[in-house]
Amino acid sequence: MAYPTLEKIFHADASSDRYAHHRELAISRLESESTFRTGIELDAGELFLAVPRELSLLNERVLRRERRVSKLWRSLPTAALGAYIRTLILDEVVYSNEIEGVHSTRRDIERALEEAKSTMPTTGGEGRHTPFFEFAKLYLGLTDGPEPPETLQDIRDIYDSVVMDALAEEDRLGDSLFRSGQVVVENGFGRVVHVGVSPESRIEEMLTQWLALSRSEEIPETYSALLCHFLFGYIHPFYDGNGRTGRYLLALHLSRPLSQPTVLSLSRVIAENKGAYYRAFDAAEKKLNCGEGTHFVMTMLDLVAEAQMELIADLEEKRQLLDELEARIDARSWIISKRALNVLFYAAQMEVFDAFRETRLADVASWLGVSKPTARKAFDELVAEGLLVKVSQRPPVFRMTDLGKTLLGLEAGK
């Protein structure tokens, strides 16, 4: 990066006055008129964000790409949008789990999403749910624009939902809101990379500051969301599950300034760049960097930008394929009913946008605004013509056949 860390400048200074130079530069960055100060004290100093030109340009690129993402997103039909957002949610949960070594599959999360959609909220912890039910429900809820946590209890409630199905007995908290013991994080070589905040009273104090920073109107939302992501990891309020909880909270905070598809693409990019992600945390904690969070924010914005670029490329490719599908359907003479033709186009959208390329009879009936028996007649037509095949009896689920994909210009056997 063109904007060097305080640590890097210190090590590059061979003069006998390098400690004085380092202290003067750290104070200069902290007290600059353009700096956002948080008033939150870390071991290395007050957490702050300087705004060099590199950060301003990077943030501007992210905002410009958001306009492209939003334009592409609005151009998609409703059925495609629903399938694509569902696929993004599946991947977001799977990748967030993967980063922490928790195994889950798209099918695991799909079952959890299905239960989350059809089950009324339970109280008192009663009942037994599909694995990852609560975690998946949190991400599904992002589409409704939920409010970020406002109290310490809200943070604990979110944590409980995240880790419900993947927490060892010794890591459970019991009645206390946060951990009461010490926690030390080591890398794969046994080197200590982080020591969590303690005691519990200090955790609560810093999380109260975290809440205030997340709601502050004195700092741009994107910056505060990313600083809060670092700070949550720094506090490390739980024995286990901090990473997954922190990334959900990041998604929740970023869903205000950024679009849903961008937010739901971030964990995959983080998983693919875990080294850079963890180094950013490590650098922000270094004593010689004096509490500066600038490089952490810049690294995270780089990851957001990468997620946007890949998302834009995928949306443009899918939008073009969708246009070609519509043209092929319009150009061909069909011997099936108009309703069956609509179902075929819906199934083609699922082939392009759905994680499993499956079409559910119940979803189509709702989309068409007809009863399930009426929708079933259209499916029967398409099955009889060899365009769809039933892959599940209960509930009724269909996929396009190779013949159907060939007629519509989709890759056979995809």
Domains of the chain plus CATH, in order, are 37-312 (1.10.3290.10), 332-407 (1.10.10.10)
Whether the Cβ atoms of residue 90 and residue 112 lie closer than 8 Å to each other: no
**400 confidence band (pLDDT: 50, 70, 90):** very high
Compute the mean pLDDT over every residue in the chain, rounded to the nearest whole number: 91
Q: Supply the pLDDT for residue 8.
A: 96
> To 10 degrees, what angle do helices 372-384 and 338-353 make?
80
**Is the pLDDT confidence value at 412 over 60?**
no
Averaged pLDDT for residues 314-321: 95
pLDDT bracket for residue 125 (50, 70, 90): very low
pLDDT band at 136 (very low <50, low <70, confident <90, very high): confident
Question: What pLDDT, on a 0 to 100 scale, did the predictor assign at position 170?
Answer: 64
Q: Which of 36-50, 154-168, 253-267 has the lowest mean pLDDT?
A: 154-168
pLDDT for the residue 300: 98
pLDDT in tens, 42-89: 999 999 999 999 999 999 999 999 999 999 999 999 999 999 999 999
Structure confidence at residue 186 (pLDDT): 72
Count, residues in the chain: 414
- Tokens 């502050």 found at: 216
